[in-house]
Structures are given as structure tokens and as C-alpha cells.
Structure 1
């Protein structure tokens, strides 16, 4: 028995078939972003107990952070190559499994140097997951979903301290937190493995004309990394993420110290607002996801930077104690949509051919920015004054604005050799 379809009906049927895995992949992506934030929330609460277990000094945490950042940057840098050779699904599955083993390994090793080495492994896994997910979402989904997925990271980094606190209070061990999160990562790796066909084949976008070829996705390109590194627009895009994440982590790192040691703000009040800094990210990104499609990428970024500049200016001015709280809150909710918006706009700035490699480079730059900018801020604060912190922060935001305006100039935004209008990108066309 032979079944025939008209050409137009066949294309429509294939579109419907291809759309079925979409919900499953979206849900798994949300879970994966939560999982990315979980380990980041464990270390701060667990560190006093960890250092007592290994009998190491307070500042030894720098060794673990450096090792993790090194692994993160290395895997992010090479993510474009890995994605083109293995596919998104396999990269995510292997990376989650690697991260899970490293986190559980933290609880089993008898020596501190072994935990530091495992930090490299955990960083390798986290960098590949982060870059892989961001590349996939930028290729297949809209700006609104990108905002909400990154809000899920805020959920993870909020839950992480709760898990660690539960282990310390109920079981009197920091290892419980890493057991739970490590096991969750391995379960997520199994989820990625079981859904490999969805990640690798489930999102081919069909063209408007039935005889045309399906549109090529960002993850389908196999552009040599050396070719990508020769593009000036790529380096501008990388610089954006170095500056942004450096500023983001700087405020999170130094807010409490600035408010309590230099401004005389009550420690309880300062701790509440410093601790809720990441929570404002979650709220900001949820709200941005509601309007991202209508507002567009450029307006989200430029509007966020405007709010950040105003907040930094208010923090420098410091007319009253309450102004500090307002400034920190304004900066937090303003910059929340910038990272996912710039990530979605990668293909606009550098073109589809170079986007996958560039996203990996951008994620590597986040690790470098996290290490360099807050550290430099700390050195200046020690030698000059803590009041240099908001001034430095304002300078970074001004630099970020300048680089962004340079990066979005039309001649620097080739998409397959041509400039693709922003409205067209936002609408998924």
C-alpha cells in the first residue's frame, strides 16, 4: 500500500513532526541551566568547613577558583570545535558526566591538592556545558527564551547555598552538598544521552519554499578556529563579555565590604541586599523575557547599560544610606538582561559562520573577566580606598557601552556575508 502526499502538505507534516521534541529539549535546557548555577552556590557556604577538613588557610580558596577558571576557559575556548565534531547532545552529556564525577570526587579525596586538580576537571565540564547550551539556544530559540534560561541559572545559584546549609545543619558535613549536586549532574548526563536525537536532529528549520534547502544552523558550521580568530569583530565580541562579566562579578564580590567597611551600613541590611544581588538577576531576566521579542536585543543592552551607569553614579554620589541600597538594586536589575541579550546577538555581530566558535571564546572571556577585573578592583581598593570600587565600576560600564556601540556598527555585523536586520533576527526569520 502506497501513501502519497502533496508537496506542500508533506512539508507541513514534516514541520509538525520536527516540532514534537521541542518541548522536551526546552525543559531539559532549563534544568541544565539550573544545574550550572548549583555548584557556584555551594562553595561560599561550605568553605569554612572544607578548609577545616583539609587544615588549609583561609586564602587557599584562590587555588581552587584558579583551577576551576583555567578548566572553564580551556573547554569554552575549544567548544566550537567540539560541537562541530561531536554534536551538541554528546558534548552536553559528556560534560555533565565529567562535572558530576569531579564534584563527587571532591568528597572522596584525602588531600587538598587532589581537590584542586579535580577543580580543573569540574571547570572543563562546566565550560563545555555553558558554551554548548548558549550556542544551541542562540541557534534554535528566541531572545525571550534565552533570558528565561539564564534566569534559571539564578535559581540554581540561589538553591545551592540552601543545599549546603541543609547538609551542614542536619548531617554536619559539607560533602552532602557535593553529593547531591554531583548526582544531579550525572542524572542530567543520562538525560542528555537519552535525548541525543532531539539535540542533534530535532530542530532543522524548514524554509518557506518547499523546494529550498533547510536553513543551516550555527551548530552546523565547521569553521576553523584560526579563521575565526582573524576576525576583528570576533575580538570585539569577546571583549564585551570580558568587561560585562568582570563588572557583574565585581559588584557581587565587593558590595558587602564597601557598604559595611566604608559606608557604615548595618551589617544585617548590607548582607541582605548583597546576598539578594543574584536574586535580582533572576527577577530582571524573567521580566526581560516577557518583553525581549518586542523590545529587541539592542534596546535591552543599551537600556540595561543606561540603568547600570545611573546606578553606579548614584553609588559614587552616596547622598544617604538608603541610596546605596537603591543603587545596588538598580544596577542588579538593569544589567540582568545584558548577558543573554548579547549572547543572542552574537550571530548579528560576527555572522552565522563564526558564531559557534565566537560563543565559546566569549564564555572563555567570562572566566578571564571574573578573575581579572574584581582582583584589580581589590588591589586598587587596598592601595587607595574602598571608595574606588564604584568609580572603577562606572569606568567598566562606560567602556562596555563604547565597545558595544563599536561592535554593532553595520559593517561589523555580517550574517553569511550580509548584514541581517535586527528585527529579522528577533522574529526568528
Structure 2
């Protein structure tokens, strides 16, 4: 029973990744279809992320009131509505409307599942699960590329919605498996009842939130703009090839989390984050190299994703140990809100900057946030030095 439930949770993490890379992969063609500036992708991304922030901030209360399985069901359903809605859009403003359920479906499930896994499973499991998020995020650019080759971008969203519907049916069938941990969740309800206002005052929480903001600013910029980076800096590439480059960062994330899952229990969360940061910096340098072909930059984005891989799940997994079970759900909800604040604004800021300076500045933009992320995390460790590890 336990292994079956873990298998369902793996599938849920695949579903978390499926919607995230579609916009970046499809945007070059969507931009042409809607006849809008390239930076308008940022407004869609910003709307999705803003709604995710709202649902992430609501997640502590939802986790207190409902079992995780119900949050998962409702969240996947909202995502399906958003995906089908995108597939029906014929005007740009319609994307902004359907971005609302698209984003609401992401925040609460992300916070709830990360809190659930951090409370019940090891750091290795957390990294493996986030590796499966990378599987979902890597699949969808190829779905979009196939749609562009055989139909049009709308079908990429529609086919992904069908996949999400299948995952929803599996989760519905798995209800009996969740009962083994439901009593455990109920027994922790009182000790994990701290609210957001109380949690944010705990030592190290603010710097952790800022670090999460910086990390997701870089990650989301890669999610949205990697295909456009190749379209703007390399000549002679087909539309299908450019769309498939959206999978580079996600393939790297998947690889990084797979490797981290093998090593996390031995090295611990903090060392995994430090190793990941160094690898990410190496990848950024590779993208910066002035090469004529696309191969070195493509490898660079894979390396960036590999380095990013362990950072997100390790920060999430540390929450109960760093701040205690009482604050865990609220802190993870705040972390998700901070993460999606970075996701909301910073890809849009990059979109405006690249219109003025050129998309070639992307690796330099990523470098700023990589340095901020690791610097703020090191500051957090100092603040927590005298607290329970």
C-alpha cells in the first residue's frame, strides 16, 4: 500500500510539471498568431504566477482544514480547466482569463504536496519526486513541438489537458491509499497550526523567502525564455527545433534531481544546495561563451538545470527541520508565495529588458539571481546556526 501511494505521488509530481513549460515552448508561434510583442508572454506568465501566489498563501489554512488528497483533486481540476481554456483561445486577452484557474491550480497543490512529502518522506524521496516534476515539464515541450508539426499550438494545450485528466482519474482511484497517513495528519493538526503572521517572524524565514524568490526568478526566466533565446541568437533553426529547446532546462532539472536523490541522504540538504549552485554557475558560463553554433549553449542550459535540480526540493525539505513541525506548513506556503512572486515578475522584467538590449543578456540576468540565491541561503544558515538542524 505504501509503495502504491508513493507511485501515485510520483504521478502527481509529473502533473505538476506538465503545464509549466508549454507557454515558453509555444510562445514564438502564439505571439505570431495573436500579433502581440514578444514581451506579452510575461503578462500571461505573471497572471498565472499571481494566482499561484494567492493559492499558495491560502494553502496553510487549506492544509489545516482538508486532507491533502482533496487539495490535489481540486487543484488538478482547476489546471485542466485552464489548459482546455488555453486551447480554445482565439484572442490574446482570453489567455489572461484562463490563466486564472491555470494558476490557482498550481499553488495549493505544490505547497500541500511539498509539506506532505517533507513530513512523511526522506530528502532522497523529495528529490526523486521533484525529478518526476522535471519529467512532466520535459514532456510538454515535445507535446507542443508535435502539435506545431502536425496541427497548431492550441492542440499542445489540449493534449496536455487530456494527460492531466488521466492523472486526475488515477488520483481519484487512489483514495483508499491515502488513509494510512490521514490519522497522522490529524494528529499533527494542532502542532502544525501556526499561521503565516507567526511563521514569518521566525529567525531565518525572511532570508529563506528572499532566496526562494531569487531562485525562482532565474528558473522561471529559463522556463519562459529559453526557446526565444535560441530563436533570437541562432539563425537557421526550425520552429519545431526551437520549441523543443524548452525541454533543455527541464531535462537538466530531472537529471539534477535524480542524482540528488541518490546522494541526498548521505550529503544532506545544505551540501546538495551548495553543489547545485556551483554546477548552475558553470552552466551559465557555458551559455555566455560566444560560439556560433547552438550546441554549447544547449549543453549550458542542461547544466544550469542540473545545478538548479536539488536546490528547490532541498529548501522545501529543510522546512520542518529548520523551523519545526508547528511552522512547517505555513513556512512552505510562504516559500511557495515567494517563489511565485519571483516567477510572476522577473520573467516579465526580463522580457522588457530584452526588448531594449537584446535577448543575448539572458545568461547575465541568470547570473545575478544565482549569486543572490546562494548568498541569501548562506545567510540563512548563519541565522539558524544555534537552532535545531
TM-score range, shorter chain: 0.7 to 0.9
> In structure 2, do the counterparts of structure 1 residues 123 and 191 end up closer, same or farther at CA, with 3 Å as the change threshold?
same
SS in 2 for 1:40: coil
Q: 1:45 to 1:35 in 2, by over 3 A?
A: same
Root-mean-square deviation (CA, aligned residues, Å) is 3.5
- Structure 2 Cα separation of the partners of residues 305 and 222 of structure 1: 33
**Structure 1 unmatched ranges of 5 or more:** 1-19, 206-213, 421-429
Cα 1:162/1:247, change in 2 over 3 Å: closer
Q: Are 2:367 and 1:394 equivalent residues in the alignment?
A: yes
Q: Which residue of structure 2 aligns with residue 31 of structure 1? A: 11
In structure 2, the partner of 1:92 is: 72
For 2:279, the equivalent position in structure 1 comes to 307
Tell me the residue number matched to 2:48.
68
Deviation at 1:84, TM superposition (A): 0.6
Instruction: State how 1:24-423 maps to structure 2 within 5 Å.
Output: 24-47=4-27, 55=34, 57-59=36-38, 60-108=40-88, 113-170=93-150, 172-199=151-178, 201-202=180-181, 217=188, 221-253=192-224, 275-313=247-285, 324=297, 327-381=300-354, 383=356, 388-409=361-382, 411=384, 414=387, 419-420=388-389
> Given the two structures, how large is their TM-score scaled by the length of structure 1?
0.76
- TM-superposed CA distance for 1:273, in Å, is 6.5
Residue 219 of structure 1 contacts residue 356 of structure 1 at CA under 8 Å; is this kept in 2? no
Question: How many angstroms does 1:363 deviate by?
Answer: 1.5
Structure 1 contact 349–408 (Cα < 8 Å) conserved: no
Deviation of 1:116 after TM superposition, in Å, equals 2.3
Aligned residue pairs total 384
Aligned counterpart, 1:211? none
- Measure, in 2, the Cα distance between the counterparts of 1:391 and 1:108: 37
How far off its partner does 1:23 sit?
1.2
Query: Using the alignment, how far apart are the partners of 1:115 and 1:253 within structure 2?
Result: 15
Q: How far, CA to CA, are the matches of 1:46 and 1:317 in structure 2?
A: 26
Q: CA separation in 2, counterparts of 1:319 and 1:111?
A: 38
CA distance in 2: counterparts of 1:192 and 1:165, whole angstroms:
28
Query: The residue matched to 1:202 in structure 2 has which SS?
Result: helix
**Deviation sequence 1:174-204 (CA, Å, 0-9, x none):** 4443333323334433433443453354376
TM-score by length of structure 2 reads: 0.83
CA distance in structure 2 between the aligned counterparts of 1:342 and 1:378, rounded to whole angstroms: 28
Check whether the contact 2:144–2:153 (CA below 8 A) recurs between aligned residues: yes
Residues 349, 412 of structure 1: 8 Å contact kept: no
| 1:77 CA drift (Å) | 1.4
Residues 93/338 of structure 1: CA separation in 2 closer, same or farther (3 Å cut): same
Q: Separation in 2 of the partners of 1:110 and 1:316?
A: 37
Cα distance 1:100–1:386, how it changes in 2: closer, same or farther (>3 A)? closer
Provide the rounded CA distance (Å) in 1 between the counterparts of 2:168 and 2:291: 51
Distance 1:87 1:373, change over 3 A: same
1:236 Cα offset (Å): 1.8
CA apart distance, 1:334:
1.9
Shift of 1:344: 0.8
Contact kept in structure 2, 1:297 and 1:341, CA below 8 Å: yes
Q: Is the 8 A contact 1:218 1:352 kept in 2?
A: no
Distance 1:410 1:200, change over 3 A: farther
1:109 Cα deviation (Å)? 6.4
Measure the CA separation in 1 of the matches of 2:261 and 2:100: 33
Tell me which structure has the larger Cα radius of gyration.
1
